[in-house]
Every structure is written in structure tokens, then in C-alpha cells.
Amino acid sequence: MEIAVEKVKELREKTGAGILDCKKALKECGGDIEKAITYLREKGIASAQKKAGRATKEGLVSAYIHGGGKIGVLVEVNCETDFVAKTEDFQNLVKDVAMHIAAMNPQYVSREDIPQEEIEKEKDILRKQAESSGKPPQVIDKIVEGRLEKFFKETCLMEQEFVKNPDITVEELVKQTIAKLGENIQIRRFARFRVGEE
């Protein structure tokens, strides 16, 4: 049974579950959204969204060194309790996130962290590129919007495809861990260093 992309998107927005989990749930439930929500809740996957508002005061700071000491990453990932911070699943998430940052070089945790003036500057550059390509004015806004989304996916950690599994984003990886551990988890901040870079 083929599941429409719109249905997957709707289920994802309602539950916060990953794309693959949503597809599987819809297939299992014959495309019925309400049944799929119940299916995900029973599996504990849809709970991530509800936990998103809870305070995260515990967690870990982890370091990852790559390329024979040429690239280093420090990352802080927060959770609600010290108990969860000590679990293998949480520690593996932190290590995976640090390794991903070393490999993919994101600039920000999420799009909300990008200064508005940088977004405006990027929009301006994209608009000029689109205009110089000779495209009709009525499609330029759509082109700029599409390229801006691509910019967010390239520069924001949460929107990047996870380096160890490109079928999911880093955000989906975090949500899967939230569902598994039953606590809110947030990637708070990171720093990436490369020998010789300013």
C-alpha cells in the first residue's frame, strides 16, 4: 500500500515521530491517521512531542576528536535527570551528535539560532542569483524560498541528515531517543575546531 506524503507529514506534525515511524504506522493502520496516532502512542514513539516543554537541567558535555587531532568538537546535550544522563543510550546519542558535527560542520543548532540579519543577507544573495538567472519575476520568490530551506538544512544541526543514517535528520534522532528514554532532550550548544581555521 502506497502512503501519500501529505499523510506522513500530517501524522509527523501531530505526533513528532520520525518519517519512517510515521510511514510504518500508516501502513500498519491502512492509512487511517487516528489509528496510526494510537499505534505510535502504544509504541511510545509519539510521546516525544509532549515532553518537549519540560526543563532540561542535567546532561553531558562531550568531546570528539577526529582526523588525527585535526578536528575537535565540544557539545552539550541536556536531559531532565542525572539518571538518564548516565544511560548508555543517552551517552551514545551525545557521541553520535559530536561525531556528526565533526563530519557535517553545522553552524547553528536550529534555524531559530540564526541571527535575522544573516537570514536577510542570505535571502538578498539568493534573490540576486535568481534574478541574474533570467527567471520570470513570479517564480523568483519560490526559488528564493526553496534555496533558503536548503540553506537551513545545510547550516542547522537539527535539520541535517544524520551522518550515520541519512534517512533521518538529527532532530528525528533526538526524538527517537526522547521516546526511548521518556525524557526531554535538547542539544544546547556546540563548538567545532579545525586546525588552522580562523
Q: Torsion over CA of 105, 110, 113 and 118, rounded to 10 degrees? A: 60
Tell me what pLDDT residue 44 has.
Answer: 66
Taking the whole predicted model, whether its pTM rises above 0.75 is answered as: no
Decide if pLDDT at 47 tops 60: no
pLDDT (0 to 100) of residue 52: 57
- 55 pLDDT tier (thresholds 50, 70, 90): low
Could you write out the DSSP letters of every residue in 2-46?
Answer: PPPHHHHHHHHHHH---HHHHHHHHHHTTT-HHHHHHHHHHHT-T
Tens digit of each residue's pLDDT (9 = 90 or more) over 126-176: 888 888 877 787 888 888 888 999 999 999 999 999 999 999 999 999 999
At 48 the pLDDT is 56
What percent of the chain shows pLDDT beyond 70? 92
Contact 14, 37 (CB under 8 A): yes
Q: What is the pLDDT of residue 156?
A: 95
51-109+156-194 fold: Tetrahydropterin Synthase; Chain A (3.30.479)
Q: Which CATH number fits domain 5-46: 1.10.8.10, 3.40.50.12780, 1.10.238.10, 3.30.1540.10?
A: 1.10.8.10
Q: Are 5-46 and 115-155 the same fold in CATH?
A: no
Rounded distance, CA 96 to CA 3, Å?
Answer: 31
Task: Assign 49 a pLDDT band (cuts: 50, 70, 90).
Answer: low
Q: What is the mean pLDDT of residues 120-124?
A: 90
Which residues lie below 8 Å from residue 61, measured CB to CB, with a gap of 6+? 74, 75, 76
Listed by start position, the domains of the chain span: 5-46, 51-109+156-194, 115-155
| pLDDT tens per residue across span 96-108 | 999 999 999 999 9
115-155 folds as GTP Cyclohydrolase I; Chain A, domain 1 (1.10.286)
Q: Give mean pLDDT, residues 31-39.
A: 85
Q: Across the chain, what does the average pLDDT equal?
A: 86
pLDDT at 170: 95
pLDDT of residue 185: 92
Q: What is the pLDDT of residue 182?
A: 85
- CA–CA separation, 151 vs 149, rounded Å? 5
88 grid coordinates: 548508555
